Amino acid sequence: MIQGAGSNVGKSMLVAGLCRAARRRGLSVRPFKPQNMSNNAAVTVDGGEIGRAQALQALACGVDPVVDMNPVLLKPESETGAQVIVQGKRIATVRARDYSALKPTLLAAVTDSFERLKAACDLVLVEGAGSPAEVNLRPGDIANMGFARATGTPVVLMGDIDRGGVIAQLVGTQMVLDPADAAMIAGFAINKFRGDPQLFKDGYDLIAQRTGWRGFGVVPWFDQADRLPAEDALDLSGQRGSGPIKIVCPVLSRIANFDDLDPLGQEPGVTMRMIPAGQPLPGDADLVILPGSKSTRGDLTYLRAQGWDIDLLAHHRRGGRVLGLCGGYQMLGRQIADPEGIEGPPGVTDGLGLLDVATTMIPDKCLSRTTAQHLASGLEVSGYEIHIGRTTGPDCTRPFARVEGRAEGATSADGLVTGTYLHGLFSADAFRAAYLKALGVAPSDMRYTAGVEQTLDALADHLETHMDVPGLLALGR
C-alpha cells in the first residue's frame, strides 16, 4: 500500500507506474483504492463508477476497470456535502460531519472488494488517501491505516520534496501515529525531486535513521506527467500548447470529468487554456467548452458570479463556437429543474439560453460505456455517459450523435452551439481530427491513447531507474 505524507504527493501516478512495472514482470496485478474523493469518475465494465485514477491504473495493468478497484467514491456536491458511491452505485448524499458516522459501516464493502481482487490476481497495489498523519480522522478510518491494519497490508510512505519540509513530513508522521499503525510502515520513498538526487543523500539517510524505516528511493520529477489524465482539480491551471486555434474552458467550482480536455491540450495546432475564477473568458477564443459538473445548478450560479455568462454570450455573438459536455450541456439550455432536490435544494434555475432545450433532474443515474456515431462527420466515437438528468427540446432534433439508433445531444439552429452527454470523445483520434479541422486546425499525427500507453511505459522505466522496485513488490509476498 502506498500512502502519502500529505495530499497530492503523487500516489496515483506512482501506483500506475508500479502497476505497469509489475505487469511487465509477468505478474497479474490490480489497483485498489479503498476510498477516493473525486468528481473525475470513470464508468466500469460492470456498470458502476470509480475514480478516474483507478481507471488509469487499470489501463497500466492491462485490464478493464471494475467497481472493486475503488469501492467507496465520494463526489463533492457542495462545500459541506458529497454523494457517496459504494461499489459503483450511489447510496446517499451526506454532509461531511454525518459521513464520520457512516464511514465505519463501509469497511465491510471495502474488504469484500479487496478480497475479490486478491483472489483474481498475483498482486494488488493499494493507494491511500490524503495522509495517515491526519490522526483526528483515524477513528473509523477505511482509507489509510484503518484499512492497512484490517487487512494486514504493508505500507510504504511517500513524501513530496517539491513542497519542501519532506524530512518533517515523514519523521513527523511517524511521531503522531499510534505505535500499532506506525508498525505497518515497511519503508519510505521521496517523490518529485528536482536536480541531482545525490544532493539529498544526507536528508535521506537522516529519515532512515530517525524512523528506522527502509528507504525505497528518491524519484526525480517525471516530466511527462502532464501526458497522463489528471484526477485532482487542483492540477487544473494555466495553458497547454501554443497553436493558433484557441480553446478555453472555465474551471467550475465542481468541475467533473475534466480529462475530456486532455487530448486537446496535446494537439500541436491548439492552445488549450483553463480559465480560473476571477478571470474573463478571452475574447479571441475560437471555441469555449463548458465542462461537466457535479452540481449543475450550483455551478451555473458560480459561472454567473464570475461574469462568464456575459463573456459567453458575447463570444457567441461574435460567431464563436460553444461545446457543452454533460453538465455544461445542461447549462446551455433554457432551464434546469430539480424538483426532487437530487443535486441540492429543489427548484428551477434559468439556463444560459444558447440551446433550445430544458433539463429535468431524475433519480436514476445513467452509467454506460458508449459507442456512438457523430452525425456531422459520420465517424464512430467511443466514450461513456455518467449523468443525472433528462434533456429535451427543439434543438434535440439536430442531435450531436446517434447511440444505438437514438438521438443524443443537441445543436442550435445557427450550428454554433452543441451539447452532448458523451464523455471521452476527444480520445478518438479520427473524430478529434475531424472536429478540429472544422475549427481550422491542421491535421496532426498525434495518437492520444497510444501516447498514454507510451507514457505509462516511460513512467515504469523512470521508477525502475530510481526506486527499489523489486524490493517494493516483494513486500506483497
The residues that are catalytic are 326, 423
Helices (DSSP H) in 106-200: which residue ranges? Answer: 107-120, 145-151, 166-176, 179-182
Sign of CA dihedral 343, 349, 352, 354: positive
Nearest to 240 by CA among 209, 268, 282, 211: 268
Amino acid residing at 105 = T
Cβ contact 92:312 at 8 Å: no
CA distances from 102 to 41, 107, 145, 443 (A): 22, 10, 18, 52
Backbone angles phi, psi at 334, to 5 degrees: -80, -35
CA angle 262, 439, 426 (to 5 degrees): 25
Cβ contact 398:364 at 8 Å: no
Q: Which residue has the cell 500512502?
A: 3
d(CA 15, CA 425): 26
Q: Which residues contact 457 (CB under 8 A, 6 or more apart)?
A: 20
Amino acid residing at 335 = Q
Q: Which residue has the cell 445548478?
A: 297
DSSP-derived letter for residue 423 is B
Nearest to 355 by CA among 301, 401, 420: 420
Q: Which residue has the cell 513486500?
A: 475
Query: DSSP strand E in 257-357: where?
Result: 270-275, 287-290, 292-293, 321-325, 335-338, 347-350
- Tell me the β-bridge partners of 295: none
Cβ contact 212:175 at 8 Å: no
Cβ contact 220:38 at 8 Å: no
Q: Report, in angstroms and rounded to the nearest whole number, the Rg of the chain calculated over CA atoms.
A: 23
Neighbours of 325 (CB within 10 A): 29
